[in-house]
């Protein structure tokens, strides 16, 4: 994991990442999480500067809901198919709490982000809060999912 970078505070990260983290944090209010009470938001930065936001959307017919990362990445790919993703910032907060809580993408979200990297033939950074309350910058989705599913040529 030597490719990962750790930062004690959001304030020491680059202004672009700080901006995305703030946008994602503001967007947490749009999460629909009545079952888990765990609100997650993702901000996707495209190469042209557009920001696509997504939040987790739960459903009583589990697992019919969708994670914030998948919602944001799928939206970016659908709305801007010719634009590359540059960076994804993920934030989370427990219901009725003000402070952010650690959250890492699930395996399904990691796979979706990895396939987006492969489609665009360019890695993108993924930034999230660790269990040590440090900001982690992963250099790519591939770094988060070393044994990913892959398309098999038959």
Q: Is residue 94 part of a domain?
A: yes
Q: Which two tokens stand for residue 9?
A: 């505070």
Q: How many domains does the chain have?
A: 1
Task: Tell me, yes or no, whether 43 lies in a domain.
Answer: yes
Sheet of 135-138: strand order equals: 5-7, 135-138, 125-129, 85-94, 38-46, 51-55
The whole-number average pLDDT for the span 55-60 is 97
Whole-number pLDDT of residue 147: 82
Q: Could you tell me the pLDDT band of residue 2, with boundaries at 50, 70 and 90?
A: low
Q: What is the pLDDT of residues 75-118, one digit of tens each?
A: 999 999 999 999 999 999 999 999 999 999 999 999 999 999 99
Domain annotation covers residue 112: yes
pLDDT at position 148, please?
Answer: 82
Point out the catalytic residue in the list 69, 115, 117, 134: 69
Q: Report yes or no on 152 lying in a domain.
A: no
pLDDT for position 153: 43
Please tell me the pTM assigned to this model.
Answer: 0.94
Q: pLDDT tens digits, residue range 142-153? A: 999 988 887 644
* Domain assignment present for 118: yes
Tell whether 150 is covered by a domain. Answer: no
Distance between CA atoms of residues 34 and 123, nearest Å? 34
Looking up residue 80, the CATH number of its domain turns out to be 3.40.140.10
- Judge whether 69 counts as a catalytic residue: yes
Long-range contacts of 98-103 (CB under 8 A, 24+ apart): 100/25, 100/129, 101/38, 101/129, 102/128, 102/129, 102/130, 102/131, 102/133, 103/38, 103/40, 103/128, 103/129
Q: Does 151 reside within a domain? A: no
Residues spanned by the domain of 32: 5-144
pLDDT at 1 over 60: no
């Amino acid at each position: 994991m030597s490719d990962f970078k750790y930062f004690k505070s959001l304030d020491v990260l680059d202004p672009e990442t700080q901006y995305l983290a703030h946008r994602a944090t503001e967007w947490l209010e749009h999460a629909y999480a009545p079952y888990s009470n765990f609100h997650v938001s993702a901000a996707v930065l495209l190469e042209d500067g557009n920001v696509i936001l997504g939040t987790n959307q739960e459903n009583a017919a589990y697992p019919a809901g969708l994670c914030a990362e998948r919602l944001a990445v799928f939206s970016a790919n659908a709305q801007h198919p010719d634009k590359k993703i540059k960076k994804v910032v993920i934030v989370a907060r427990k219901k009725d709490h003000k402070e952010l809580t650690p959250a890492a993408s699930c395996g399904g979200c990691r796979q979706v982000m990895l396939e987006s990297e492969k489609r665009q033939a360019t890695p993108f950074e993924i930034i999230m809060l660790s269990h040590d309350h440090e900001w982690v910058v992963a250099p790519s989705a591939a770094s988060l999912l070393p044994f990913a599913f892959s398309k098999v040529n038959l």
